């Protein structure tokens, strides 16, 4: 089988008179013979049809390409709102993605380290910096205190510059020799236990440390405001400690005068609670003054 044109009929083989090419004998004498198809014209028409079909396919593909290109161009224009056209006709993105002629400045850092925050202990270690008001109510505020879930009721308070007058045993002379400026006291009671805490104030930390190391005897118990005399002519628990320019002392015993022994746990708990409370109150003075100094460094 061949492609590309109509099939040409084979020339008939007949005996006798040979017919012209492409013609058949007329089986009906006297009648006009039927018209034989023009096979050459048909071939030309078929070739022309194929050519038209090819041009239609090519033209349709070109048109489709133009349509797709137009759609892409429209999408680029639509998504590039706000873009700017460069001088050479190309589209240059704007905003954060666009290159900038000017370099972004680099952050600079100071090579000098910031000063450390003030140390609260510095403000309670020397009278030149420890300028906050000082009073019995300031150190021992309110009518009661609670430590470790144990509540104590406050009794009497006092403040004096005669440090030796509010002590027992050798402590008075020790305070005086080391330059004691003032003693502030407060008494607390809980379940038959009475405790007096006394805070001795010195000019420097060195004086307070020396007084603590030499301490003997104790701070005198403070009665009044509902608390009777205690720790007089009996055994009581006496302790001492210091922080900064403050030395603090506790005297704890039974309100009824009973002798204290090492087995009396409530006495030791009360002494620990009041000593911790005194420490916290003194340190709070330093923390408050350090915060104020940090907020106004130029003053």
Question: What pLDDT digit, counting tens, does each position of 138-164 carry?
Answer: 999 999 999 999 999 999 999 999 999
Answer positive or negative: Cα dihedral of 224, 236, 238, 174.
positive
* Digit-coded pLDDT (tens) for 41-86: 555 666 666 666 655 555 555 555 554 455 544 544 444 444 444 4
Q: Residue 183 above 70 pLDDT?
A: yes
Q: pLDDT confidence of 112, banded at 50, 70, 90?
A: confident
- How large is the average pLDDT for residues 175-203? 98
In sequence order, the 6+-apart residues with CB closer than 8 A to the CB of 46 are 5, 6
Task: Quote the CA–CA distance of 125 and 93 in Å, as a whole number.
Answer: 66
How confident is the model at residue 31, as a pLDDT?
43
Task: Quote the CA–CA distance of 264 and 268 in Å, as a whole number.
Answer: 7
Which of 95-109, 124-138, 172-186 comes out lowest in average pLDDT? 95-109
* Cα 107 to chain centroid, rounded: 22
70 and 63 Cβ atoms separated by less than 8 Å:
no
- Residue 72, φ and ψ in degrees, nearest 5: -60, -45
| Beta carbons within 10 angstroms of residue 270's beta carbon | 25
DSSP 2: -
SS3 content of the chain, % helix, strand, coil (to 5): 35, 20, 45
DSSP 231: S
> For residue 178, what are the CA distances in angstroms to 15, 59, 207?
163, 114, 6
DSSP 126: B
212 and 242 Cβ atoms separated by less than 8 Å:
yes
């Amino acid at each position: 089988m061949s492609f590309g044109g109509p099939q040409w009929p084979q020339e008939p083989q007949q005996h006798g008179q040979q017919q012209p090419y492409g013609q058949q004998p007329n089986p009906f004498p006297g009648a006009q013979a039927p018209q034989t198809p023009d096979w050459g014209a048909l071939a030309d028409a078929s070739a022309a049809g194929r050519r038209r079909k090819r041009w239609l396919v090519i033209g349709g593909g070109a048109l489709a390409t133009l349509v797709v290109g137009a759609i892409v161009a429209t999408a680029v224009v639509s998504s590039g709102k706000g873009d700017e056209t460069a001088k050479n006709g190309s589209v240059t993105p704007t905003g954060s993605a666009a290159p900038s002629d000017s370099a972004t400045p680099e952050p600079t850092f100071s090579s000098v380290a910031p000063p450390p925050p003030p140390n609260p202990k510095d403000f309670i270690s020397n009278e030149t910096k420890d300028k906050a008001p000082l009073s019995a109510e300031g150190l021992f505020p309110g009518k009661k205190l609670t430590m470790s879930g144990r509540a104590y009721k406050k009794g009497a308070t006092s403040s004096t510059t005669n440090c030796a007058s509010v002590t027992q045993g050798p402590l008075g002379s020790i305070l005086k020799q080391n330059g004691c400026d003032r003693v502030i006291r407060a008494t607390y009671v809980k379940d038959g236990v009475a405790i007096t805490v006394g805070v001795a104030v010195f000019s420097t930390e060195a004086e307070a440390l020396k007084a603590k190391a030499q301490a003997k005897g104790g701070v005198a118990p403070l009665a009044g405001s509902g608390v009777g005399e205690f720790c007089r002519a009996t055994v009581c628990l006496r302790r001492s400690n210091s922080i900064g320019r403050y030395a603090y002392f506790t005297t704890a015993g039974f309100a009824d005068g009973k002798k204290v022994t090492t087995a009396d746990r409530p006495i030791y708990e009360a002494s620990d609670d009041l000593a911790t409370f005194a420490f916290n109150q003194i340190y709070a003075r330093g923390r408050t003054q350090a915060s104020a100094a940090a907020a106004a460094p130029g003053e």
